[in-house]
Structure 1
């Protein structure tokens, strides 16, 4: 007598389950401490270098004090993107982190209202059409003493605007860093693909793997058809060494 055949979840079911696992993790937060709610981060962009943006997102998240990091994490790492030179507002709005060339700077986490004066001095970032990324995988060093640890990430870019790319990648990298999946001195190996097929990431999308995986899943071409925009996998468990 044959057993009942195993029914594989559909792509939508798989992505929905992974997104729900992320939502539960955010609800649980990063610890038991009291946190400030409703925090937002701002990123000022004078000129976009993809590798510098990825490295900066990780470095900023890792440099954020624990109480602010947890509060920001619990707002799903909400971030606004502004266009303009960080040095033009430095006297009134010092950054928390900036890239070496000064083309990218991070502010906060702060209550949204406290970032409005900065938003008035700069302008909302509107990227030039679809994102342009290197064809070859990127090898990005996270600032810090080399750890010898490599973290792999895959990001979808097909039909993705420059602004959307910033949103998806920042969520992916910052949340992974806040959770301890990315640490100072790590190497991020980032592959850009036109699309991320769920068949290639079924193991990573399994909710039982959520402790060592970071995903970015958002609405696709239809509200009921989520799309996988990013997957980051680490052999370092959440909060581990």
Structure 2
């Protein structure tokens, strides 16, 4: 890629960043839902666990907003920002042997200094710093609810990673034995519906940043001149 093209790309990227931070609208969720017969045909070829996770989620939230051969996606379903059920499973033995195939997302900005502690707690807890999101991936929604509740306890200093692992095992065991398990039944903290990005700080060389800004201006001027010509 030539330098001119690289700077043009950088200019477009800076313009997009400014637009999103000023106007928002980073994630354009799909509002329509997929035809249920199409979804059933897709899921019919899946293995038993992801098929069961898909059937449970459809029963609870209705047909997904998007469906491909490898995943079903729901947006803003129940307490979730996004739910994905995957065809492809990931083996996981904590707190008991299972396969990860359903992932539930929430808006939740985690301080970077807490990342290591959360990783010690559960390898299927995924923290996205820039997006300001946390998700949990497991075999059922209840297990994800428990993991996210314990994530919040770790971040807020109520529990250590080891204590959270013990409490997670207790919550899942109680849930599976049909005993009261509030941590696996409902999120125990308020979740924001608004995304809060962690955009970090600019560290690129000033010269490159200046050239990128110039490219934004040049592109805008070109577009304006083109519109004026078309108008006349």
TM-score (ref. length: structure 2): 0.25
TM-score (ref. length: structure 1): 0.25
- Indicate the structure whose relative CO is greater, using CA pairs within 8 Å and at least 6 residues apart: 1
Q: Which has the higher strand share?
A: 1
Q: Which has the higher helix share?
A: 2
The higher radius of gyration belongs to: 2
